[in-house]
A and B are shown apart, each in its own frame.
Chain A
């Protein structure tokens, strides 16, 4: 495991920059990760990231795009407007949770 430093905090991350210990995350760190990825966070971005984080912490896995679209209050079309290159990948990184397993 590698580490990176953001906002003077040392974070455990994987090779692609996903936090491996969600407890090291704070909203300010989320903002900093978003900035690094070129995403300017709005309230709508936060609705998605908070939903993902909450779901991960309660169930142990991140929601699929489809359940994000149905249950987060942000429809799929808007998810892609907020995170054009892939909502699941981007939002989970900003939300400080490991990369969703879909990608194997």
Chain B
């Protein structure tokens, strides 16, 4: 009897549960292997859709489905809040006192925003002039605000890296430019993008391309801005080094942390409560029977659904190896693949891994049809079609045809070496 326990049934946890169910189909059906998933929220949110809610492209109903429905019927779903992991006992304790023993544990509880960690952020202006769009509640409040807004200063700010989907705040800025243009009020809105990074994006070639786009769309870029507090009375965002950004609407991407229950097991996590994870095998660096996937890891790649999907192929195999007593495979290369919506029915595509930064070119074949690091309508159509792919291929744990887990250099234009 093997007991596989998965914490979190978001993108990563759901894919993993459904994949492992398929791997062990016979044993699961015969009761020889159990797959249990714990999650306290009965809603499964299509998170890439949150970006479009503030602009009225999607309504909250369009992006939420029941969580249980995304899991195969042979997977046991346990609604409930997690109290702590007890690695020495090979068990997880729930808040209601239930004890769940495991032979393999997969931590897939992702990341949460922690606006309370920045002074003044959750003050009187929270969800009045200060908004997040990483939650259904925040994105919905922001949609209400923007639909009646008369214009003024819009500041988009990333508080601290790492964040989930590092391109989302850029996409938000591009879509804001599009949205206010379509409403014939772009000239009344001043958009500023403020980031703690020293450029528009983390890696140099993409930072250059995206920086040019911001410029073309008349979006101001403020770099190395480390937000220290929100002054609610004066409506000013103040950096630790004393710089001030006045706003009428502040869209913040707050500090991100791993799930709060991980605080109780410090040996498992780093300072931000992300699981210390072997970058190639996805095994915890502290406990051999614990693995991590998706946003919950501390790996130096993007926190994104595509990453969770690519990781799931490797983790599926490695859990098979682990339970069979075989050595693990160094299978994961940090592969990430992200559409970047740029407004006016256009999008960019980024494809990269631990070692290769996003490069220009074509994808997935040398003839495309997608364009890497360049705007195209085909990319935008890919982004919008992804919603269907998410619910119907990704979550059930299928491999996406033509998109292998390991990054390929096919179609990419490597930079000239100096």
A residues apposed to B, CB below 8 Å: 59-61, 63-67, 76-77, 79-81, 84-86, 101-104
Kindly list chain B residues whose C-beta atoms are within 8 Å of the C-beta of A59: 270, 276
A103 touches B285 (CB 8 A): no
Interface centre among A67, A79, A80 (most CB of B within 10 A): A80
Kindly list chain A residues whose C-beta atoms are within 8 Å of the C-beta of B162: 101-104
User: A104 with B202: in contact, given A61-B276, A77-B228 (CB under 8 Å)?
Assistant: yes
Nearest chain A CB to B304 CB, angstrom units: 10
B236-258 residues at the A interface, CB under 8 angstroms: 239-241, 255
Kindly list chain A residues whose C-beta atoms are within 8 Å of the C-beta of B318: none
The one of A64, A84, A101, A104 that contacts B241, using a Cβ cutoff of 8 Å: A84
Kindly list chain B residues whose C-beta atoms are within 8 Å of the C-beta of A85: 224
Q: List 8 additional contacts besides A64-B271, A66-B255; criterion CB under 8 Å.
A: A61-B271, A61-B298, A66-B117, A84-B241, A86-B196, A102-B162, A103-B161, A104-B301
A60 touches B272 (CB 8 A): no
User: A86 with B226: in contact, given A77-B240, A102-B161, A103-B202 (CB under 8 Å)?
Assistant: yes
Nearest to B270 among chain A residues (CB) is A61
Any A CB within 8 A of the CB of B302: yes
B271 touches A63 (CB 8 A): yes
Enumerate 30 A-B pairs (CB-CB under 8 Å) in ascending A order: A59-B270, A59-B276, A60-B285, A61-B298, A64-B270, A64-B271, A65-B160, A65-B226, A66-B255, A66-B271, A67-B271, A76-B240, A77-B228, A77-B240, A79-B240, A80-B228, A80-B239, A84-B241, A85-B224, A86-B196, A101-B162, A101-B298, A101-B299, A101-B300, A102-B162, A103-B162, A103-B197, A104-B202, A104-B301, A104-B302
B residues apposed to A, CB below 8 Å: 117, 160-162, 166, 196-197, 202, 224, 226, 228, 239-241, 255, 270-272, 276, 285, 298-302
The complex places the Cα of A56 from the Cα of B295 at a distance, in Å, of 22
Instruction: Give 7 nearest A-B pairs by CB, closest first.
Output: A80-B240, A102-B161, A101-B300, A64-B271, A67-B271, A84-B241, A61-B270
The complex places the Cα of A104 from the Cα of B335 at a distance, in Å, of 12
Kindly list chain B residues whose C-beta atoms are within 8 Å of the C-beta of A101: 162, 298-300
The complex places the Cα of A64 from the Cα of B241 at a distance, in Å, of 18
A102 touches B160 (CB 8 A): yes
Kindly list chain B residues whose C-beta atoms are within 8 Å of the C-beta of A81: 241
The complex places the Cα of A8 from the Cα of B159 at a distance, in Å, of 40
Kindly list chain B residues whose C-beta atoms are within 8 Å of the C-beta of A84: 241
Nearest chain A CB to B353 CB, angstrom units: 11
The complex places the Cα of A61 from the Cα of B255 at a distance, in Å, of 18
Kindly list chain A residues whose C-beta atoms are within 8 Å of the C-beta of B271: 61, 63-64, 66-67
Nearest chain A CB to B229 CB, angstrom units: 10
The complex places the Cα of A81 from the Cα of B228 at a distance, in Å, of 13
The one of B166, B224, B272 that contacts A86, using a Cβ cutoff of 8 Å: B224
Nearest to A89 among chain B residues (CB) is B198
The complex places the Cα of A65 from the Cα of B255 at a distance, in Å, of 11
Kindly list chain B residues whose C-beta atoms are within 8 Å of the C-beta of A80: 226, 228, 239-241
Kindly list chain A residues whose C-beta atoms are within 8 Å of the C-beta of B166: 104
Nearest to B302 among chain A residues (CB) is A104
Nearest chain A CB to B127 CB, angstrom units: 24
